[in-house]
Structure 1
């Protein structure tokens, strides 16, 4: 990065907008598309040149829990950007990929400006469901110009068959493997997570756009209770992304030369310096190594090398925080000290984790803090799936000397990632490599273990036995030798 001349095609983030609502009466809440539009118009006003919205060459939106076919087209019509290419990405596509696509298109001269926006209205859905209703959305059924889809499934069929239908259980399996590798007792590990998330809660309290601004102490976070039930041991609700939120964000980009021509205040410019991503997809149960994330390691090294900066010198850091183990994976990739703050928003647990849109909220927060003088550089990580895909984005108040640089390290990550065959309904012996206990409202807890089989494959085994469940939440089971009968842990 440099303070020198700015290349004319350098992309610049010139407008950021966020929107949120908390209406207990769901009929008074905004639909997701209206939240998006509010954030988009806010981004236009934030730039100081709202006419730029009508010029954007691309509009990209990641899919949320809504039924619209082409919200990008709805936005285009609302802001008068009738010539924009409309893009919608499915779950399983990195949110940072949409940001990088927009920046690369500007850098290459394919467009002069671009818009990325997203929203989810999970609180609206929840309040309607609590009233025995289904939240309605207006019809929006035309097709986008481009639809982005992942190349493979995020979950293995064996995971679904074992009851791992929600991400929390799969992340908790990874968490146990990391706990065992670190040599921590179950109790000490729970204390560590609770202390970290207590700090996250404090940071969220200072963020006006946080969904939860009342701080929680470590003891409340650590242990399950009526308002903080266990989800998948050791994760209580307070460790998990809060996705029942109504939140939106929009990011407005243009080239440096266009920003100058429009007279956009130079102090408002934030430069995307580098983006690195890995799109190599391996289901969790098939990963040979549950402790390190090759994708996180590779993207971290790449983005820092491009920026010519060390992780220790970054001013603002936001690590993707859907679940604690994701934070750990990215912190390890950056070799960060244990006392470093790892969020600027307050995390997805407290700031709010709108489904498939949080990364834009975090980017907007980073831009706001950089503008306020909280630092000159910001580094954000991004996840898609079950820590399946990884990305890092580096931002600065100073222009990069080579303009924006994007790298895809998928091939490198694929070459360094071990993958095992997963067998279903396994009978035989093996060693536990990850374990958790699933807790669901109104259901009996279920222990789940991921096993290295005697034959060198992987298998999932379950147990409803009370003594197994209690033992797995008290003692370290990773590393134990066990017997399995037709996918059930033997007593």
Structure 2
């Protein structure tokens, strides 16, 4: 039996198509092709050797794209780069996918199932939006879309099927992450004002990082200041409390990224300089329930905590040995939860917790944001100023996680061959959930959806029944309750009220003092 190989990253690349003109629109597959070819160039090989590397690609892993439905995206990418891989795969939808695919590619290199592996992803959401706005089709040459493919929507809860969430019109990322932020604030004893200032300072620091990142969508523009991020205005309207627009992911971008992995043996054979080598140390990931109402609580994330711990463990590292981090940051709560678990300061940190600048300022590259974190981590580790780095990739509604650790020094033992975590965490007890409820109750967490006019539109409540402590989902029961939920001064969490049933199947919550039905 052949000994295990040592996986390394030898090439990385990021592609940005900043033009939003319809005639300049480039489809995701082609952006990925550009990224892969540039990643091959990044190895520093001569043209003949680069051709040899390209033809040796036997594994192609692609992050599912939001932009376009492809019938066989891995196969299309392989064809366009001139490779004939025996292994081709496309991820499920989720921001954890880049790290997960990267970890799996490293395992295949280690086990000698693969010699050269490509991991890539890309989006052209800005170009697609430009086409839709202009009422035009993309330019000729775009791949004919797969009509039977699944379309991703981050703005229509009705596409999520019938369940207790959609009955109450809740379940999108813009709804669920605020549930966590509000609960996290109350759990720590913060005021609403203190919490807003913390989030604004965090994202203000992130914006400064993106300002210096040439691959960031906002590169070349002055970073948005913390005060602006935390102040609600016409240009920064409240989306779902407590997050105004500048604390939400910005998805209208055209970005792609790619990593090329191989073994130290093959890299030596080709003549790739060791100063290009970066070593994957290990990875791990898990998820919480897809049903957000079946989470243990809303002030912590077992999947984030477990993935961080397991990722460090399999990499043979302690948290203190990590020099640079990139925490996924679609909303402020994700890096906050990661910092809380690792004992890092949320805003006064010394070790970097983002290399990109977050999904607001760098750009929320669909499922592919953390691919850019991996490429940035490789570049940073090549400089030699830091030894070890960690990437936390998050997906769903704080659902799916995957952590990968990298280093400019090799592992002392073979690369871990399996994910040590279960696919779904079921160890932490979850409260009983009742679909239709009535009686006195207390708010566990909440958020408020705001309209484009800046006024509260609908309230979403996760509550507990006084009688049995069962959990329920509800909407606001009257305008007074909605106004109180939208308060920027009084904390709704822990307040008591009354929940009733409506004729349309929803639960309606009112604060004490409001009239009952």
Q: TM-score over 0.5 for the alignment?
A: yes
Counterpart for residue 4 of structure 1: none
CA drift of 1:407 comes to: 4.8
Q: Distance in 2 between matches of 1:271 and 1:142?
A: 40
Give the 4+ runs in structure 1 shifted more than 4 A: 140-144, 153-156
Cα shift at 1:278: 1.0
On the 8 A contact 2:463/2:471 being kept in 1, the answer is yes
SS at match of 1:288: coil
- Write the distance in 2 (CA, Å) between the matches of 1:178 and 1:219: 22
Unaligned ranges ≥5, structure 1:
1-6, 145-152
Give 1:273's aligned residue: 281
Decide whether the 8 Å contact of 1:445 with 1:464 is kept in 2: no
- Partner Cα distance (2:310, 2:303) in 1: 10
- Secondary structure in 1 aligned to 2:444? strand
Residue 90 (structure 1) shift = 1.9
Give the unaligned 5+ runs of structure 2.
Answer: 150-158, 502-506
Distance between the aligned counterparts of 2:334 and 2:484, measured in 1?
Answer: 25
How far apart, CA to CA, are the structure 2 residues paired with 1:412 and 1:372? Answer: 35
Residue 370 of structure 1 deviates from its aligned partner by: 1.3
Counterpart of 2:457? 445
The 5-angstrom pairing of residues 284-303 of structure 1 reads 284-303=292-311
Report the secondary structure of 1:482's partner residue: strand
3-state SS in 2 of match to 1:445: strand
- The residue that corresponds to 1:233 in the other structure is 241
Find 1:164's aligned residue among 166, 170, 175: 170
Equivalent position of 2:208 in the other structure: 202
2:56 match: 55
Deviation at 1:33, TM superposition (A): 1.0
Determine if the alignment matches structure 1 residue 107 to structure 2 residue 110.
yes
1:482 matched to 2:502? The reply is no
CA 1:258–1:142 in 2, change beyond 3 Å: closer, same or farther?
Answer: farther
**Cα distance in 1, alignment partners of residues 148 and 387 from structure 2:** 40
Instruction: Answer yes or no: is the 8 Å Cα contact 2:4–2:112 preserved in 1.
Output: no
TM-superposition CA deviations, 1:363-398 (whole Å, max 9, x none): 111111111234121111011211112221110000
Does the 8 Å contact 2:285/2:419 carry over to 1?
A: yes
SS of the aligned residue for 1:176 comes to helix
Counterpart Cα distance in 1 of 2:365 and 2:23: 19
Q: Determine whether 1:333 maps to 2:338.
A: no
**CA distance in 1 between partners of 2:495 and 2:418 (Å):** 41
- Give the aligned partner of residue 144 of structure 2: 139
Shift of 1:427: 2.5
Q: 2:84 aligns with which of 78, 82, 85?
A: 82
User: Which of 176, 184, 187 in structure 2 is aligned with 1:181?
Assistant: 187
Q: Deviations over 1:65-89 (max 9, x none)?
A: 2111211111111122123322112
* Cα gap change, 1:406 to 1:391, in 2 (>3 Å): farther
Structure-2 residue corresponding to 1:248: 256
Normalised by the length of structure 2, the TM-score is 0.87
The alignment status of 1:120 with 2:133, answered yes or no, reads no
Deviations 1:105-162 (A, max 9, x none): 1111111111110011111122222223454742265999xxxxxxxx9898222222
What's the counterpart of residue 434 of structure 2? 423
| Residue in structure 2 matched with residue 343 of structure 1 by the alignment | 354
Matches of 1:419 and 1:61 in 2, distance apart?
34
Give per-residue Cα distances to partners, 1:158-183, cap 9 Å, x unaligned: 22222224211111011111100000
Match of 1:149 in 2: none
Please tell me the root mean square deviation across aligned C-alpha atoms, in Å: 2.4
User: CA separation in 2, counterparts of 1:376 and 1:466?
Assistant: 55
For residue 384 of structure 1, what is the aligned residue in structure 2?
395
- In the aligned structure 1, how far is the partner of 2:87 from the partner of 2:145? 17
Query: SS at the partner of 2:166?
Result: helix
Aligned-partner Cα distance in 2 for 1:283–1:156 = 12
Are the equivalent residues in 1 in contact too, given 2:284–2:421 (CA < 8 A)?
no
